[in-house]
Protein backbone atom coordinates (compact mmCIF):
# COMPACT_ATOMS: atom_id res chain seq x y z
CA UNK A 1 0.00 0.00 0.00
CA UNK A 2 1.39 3.39 -1.02
CA UNK A 3 1.49 6.45 1.23
CA UNK A 4 -1.41 8.21 -0.55
CA UNK A 5 -3.76 5.27 -0.05
CA UNK A 6 -2.56 4.82 3.54
CA UNK A 7 -3.37 8.45 4.43
CA UNK A 8 -6.85 8.12 2.87
CA UNK A 9 -7.55 5.02 4.93
CA UNK A 10 -6.37 6.75 8.10
CA UNK A 11 -8.76 9.63 7.36
CA UNK A 12 -11.64 7.13 7.19
CA UNK A 13 -10.94 5.73 10.69
CA UNK A 14 -12.64 8.59 12.55
CA UNK A 15 -14.89 11.49 11.46
CA UNK A 16 -12.98 13.84 13.79
CA UNK A 17 -9.75 13.44 11.80
CA UNK A 18 -9.29 16.60 9.72
CA UNK A 19 -6.25 15.45 7.74
CA UNK A 20 -3.69 12.67 7.63
CA UNK A 21 -0.29 12.76 5.97
CA UNK A 22 2.95 10.86 5.62
CA UNK A 23 6.28 12.65 5.88
CA UNK A 24 9.96 11.93 5.86
CA UNK A 25 12.02 12.48 8.98
CA UNK A 26 13.13 15.78 7.41
CA UNK A 27 9.58 17.10 7.81
CA UNK A 28 8.74 16.96 4.11
CA UNK A 29 5.13 15.81 3.64
CA UNK A 30 4.72 13.83 0.41
CA UNK A 31 1.28 12.26 0.82
CA UNK A 32 -1.71 13.93 2.45
CA UNK A 33 -5.48 13.52 2.59
CA UNK A 34 -7.87 16.13 3.90
CA UNK A 35 -11.48 15.77 4.95
CA UNK A 36 -13.74 17.51 2.46
CA UNK A 37 -15.05 20.87 3.61
CA UNK A 38 -12.48 21.28 6.40
CA UNK A 39 -10.28 24.36 6.23
CA UNK A 40 -6.60 24.05 7.16
CA UNK A 41 -5.70 25.78 10.44
CA UNK A 42 -2.11 26.44 9.35
CA UNK A 43 -1.20 27.58 5.87
CA UNK A 44 1.97 28.12 3.88
CA UNK A 45 5.20 28.47 5.80
CA UNK A 46 3.50 27.94 9.19
CA UNK A 47 2.35 24.51 8.09
CA UNK A 48 5.87 23.61 6.92
CA UNK A 49 7.38 24.79 10.22
CA UNK A 50 4.86 22.74 12.20
CA UNK A 51 5.66 19.58 10.21
CA UNK A 52 9.42 20.11 10.52
CA UNK A 53 9.08 20.68 14.28
CA UNK A 54 7.04 17.48 14.69
CA UNK A 55 9.59 15.45 12.74
CA UNK A 56 12.44 16.89 14.77
CA UNK A 57 10.75 16.25 18.11
CA UNK A 58 9.86 12.65 17.25
CA UNK A 59 13.41 12.01 16.05
CA UNK A 60 14.88 13.67 19.15
CA UNK A 61 12.63 11.68 21.52
CA UNK A 62 13.97 8.41 20.08
CA UNK A 63 17.16 8.96 22.09
CA UNK A 64 15.18 8.01 25.20
CA UNK A 65 14.20 4.59 23.84
CA UNK A 66 16.68 2.66 26.03
CA UNK A 67 15.24 4.19 29.21
CA UNK A 68 11.57 4.67 28.26
CA UNK A 69 10.86 2.11 25.53
CA UNK A 70 9.67 2.75 21.97
CA UNK A 71 8.00 6.05 21.16
CA UNK A 72 4.43 5.45 19.94
CA UNK A 73 3.16 8.99 19.39
CA UNK A 74 3.50 12.66 20.23
CA UNK A 75 0.37 14.78 20.67
CA UNK A 76 -0.07 18.54 20.70
CA UNK A 77 -3.35 19.82 22.12
CA UNK A 78 -4.49 23.31 21.11
CA UNK A 79 -7.82 25.07 21.61
CA UNK A 80 -8.78 24.61 17.95
CA UNK A 81 -7.06 21.38 16.93
CA UNK A 82 -5.12 18.34 18.11
CA UNK A 83 -1.99 17.33 16.19
CA UNK A 84 -0.65 13.81 16.62
CA UNK A 85 2.49 12.27 15.13
CA UNK A 86 3.09 8.52 14.89
CA UNK A 87 6.41 6.94 13.85
CA UNK A 88 5.63 4.37 11.13
CA UNK A 89 8.62 2.45 9.81
CA UNK A 90 11.14 5.17 8.86
CA UNK A 91 8.44 7.81 8.34
CA UNK A 92 5.90 9.80 10.32
CA UNK A 93 2.14 9.71 10.11
CA UNK A 94 0.82 13.16 11.03
CA UNK A 95 -2.80 13.67 12.01
CA UNK A 96 -4.81 16.84 12.53
CA UNK A 97 -8.04 16.23 14.44
CA UNK A 98 -10.91 18.23 15.87
CA UNK A 99 -10.40 19.34 19.49
CA UNK A 100 -13.13 16.99 20.74
CA UNK A 101 -11.27 13.84 19.70
CA UNK A 102 -10.08 11.57 22.48
CA UNK A 103 -6.38 11.13 21.70
CA UNK A 104 -6.07 7.73 23.42
CA UNK A 105 -9.08 6.29 21.60
CA UNK A 106 -7.96 7.67 18.23
CA UNK A 107 -4.41 6.44 18.81
CA UNK A 108 -5.70 2.94 19.57
CA UNK A 109 -7.66 2.88 16.29
CA UNK A 110 -4.59 4.04 14.39
CA UNK A 111 -2.25 1.54 16.08
CA UNK A 112 -4.63 -1.33 15.24
CA UNK A 113 -4.94 -0.19 11.64
CA UNK A 114 -1.18 0.20 11.20
CA UNK A 115 -0.60 -3.28 12.67
CA UNK A 116 -3.15 -4.74 10.24
CA UNK A 117 -1.48 -3.26 7.13
CA UNK A 118 2.16 -2.85 8.16
CA UNK A 119 3.46 -5.74 6.05
CA UNK A 120 1.97 -4.27 2.88
CA UNK A 121 3.00 -0.65 3.54
CA UNK A 122 5.40 1.00 1.11
CA UNK A 123 5.62 4.56 2.36
CA UNK A 124 8.56 5.80 0.34
CA UNK A 125 7.92 8.98 -1.59
CA UNK A 126 7.69 8.80 -5.36
CA UNK A 127 10.91 9.58 -7.22
CA UNK A 128 9.36 12.67 -8.78
CA UNK A 129 9.22 14.36 -5.36
CA UNK A 130 12.97 14.99 -5.58
CA UNK A 131 13.89 17.54 -8.23
CA UNK A 132 16.34 16.86 -11.05
CA UNK A 133 19.10 18.94 -9.45
CA UNK A 134 18.92 16.98 -6.18
CA UNK A 135 18.91 13.68 -8.12
CA UNK A 136 22.04 14.79 -10.00
CA UNK A 137 23.78 15.69 -6.73
CA UNK A 138 22.74 12.32 -5.28
CA UNK A 139 24.08 10.51 -8.36
CA UNK A 140 27.41 12.39 -8.16
CA UNK A 141 27.81 11.75 -4.44
CA UNK A 142 27.01 8.08 -4.88
CA UNK A 143 29.44 7.63 -7.79
CA UNK A 144 32.17 9.33 -5.79
CA UNK A 145 31.88 6.58 -3.17
CA UNK A 146 30.03 8.43 -0.41
CA UNK A 147 27.84 6.19 1.74
CA UNK A 148 24.04 6.25 1.50
CA UNK A 149 23.81 7.45 5.12
CA UNK A 150 25.99 10.47 4.44
CA UNK A 151 24.13 11.23 1.20
CA UNK A 152 20.83 11.11 3.06
CA UNK A 153 22.15 13.45 5.72
CA UNK A 154 23.66 15.84 3.16
CA UNK A 155 20.46 16.02 1.07
CA UNK A 156 18.05 15.93 4.03
CA UNK A 157 16.41 12.73 2.81
CA UNK A 158 15.48 9.43 4.39
CA UNK A 159 18.12 6.70 3.79
CA UNK A 160 15.49 4.45 2.22
CA UNK A 161 14.52 7.24 -0.19
CA UNK A 162 18.19 7.62 -1.13
CA UNK A 163 18.44 3.86 -1.76
CA UNK A 164 15.28 3.96 -3.89
CA UNK A 165 16.64 6.86 -5.98
CA UNK A 166 20.00 5.11 -6.41
CA UNK A 167 18.18 2.00 -7.66
CA UNK A 168 16.26 4.19 -10.15
CA UNK A 169 19.51 5.58 -11.57
CA UNK A 170 21.06 2.16 -12.21
pLDDT digits (tens, 9 = 90+) for 18-66: 999 999 877 888 889 999 999 888 888 888 888 888 888 988 888 899 9
Please give the mean pLDDT across all residues of the chain. 89
| pLDDT, tens digit, 9 for 90 and up, residues 2-12 | 888 999 999 99
Closest CA to 124 of 168, 76, 74: 168
Inter-residue long-range contacts of 3-8, CB under 8 Å, 24+ positions, other chains counted: 3/30, 3/31, 3/91, 3/122, 3/123, 3/124, 3/125, 4/31, 4/33, 6/31, 6/93, 6/117, 6/121, 6/123, 7/31, 7/32, 7/33, 7/93, 8/33
The residue that leads in pLDDT, 77 or 28, is: 77
The Cα 96–Cα 21 span in angstroms is: 9
Q: Does the pTM exceed 0.85?
A: no
What is the arithmetic mean of pLDDT over 132-141? 88
Identify the pLDDT of residue 126: 60
Whether the predicted pLDDT of 128 surpasses 70: no
At 115, the pLDDT band (50, 70, 90 cuts) reads: very high
Percent of the chain past pLDDT 70, that is, above it, reads 96
Amino acid sequence: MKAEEFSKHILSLDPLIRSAGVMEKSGHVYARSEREGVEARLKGRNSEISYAQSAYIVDLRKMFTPELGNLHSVAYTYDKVKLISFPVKEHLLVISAEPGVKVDDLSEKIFKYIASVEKELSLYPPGNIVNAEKKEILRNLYHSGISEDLIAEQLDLDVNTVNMLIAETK
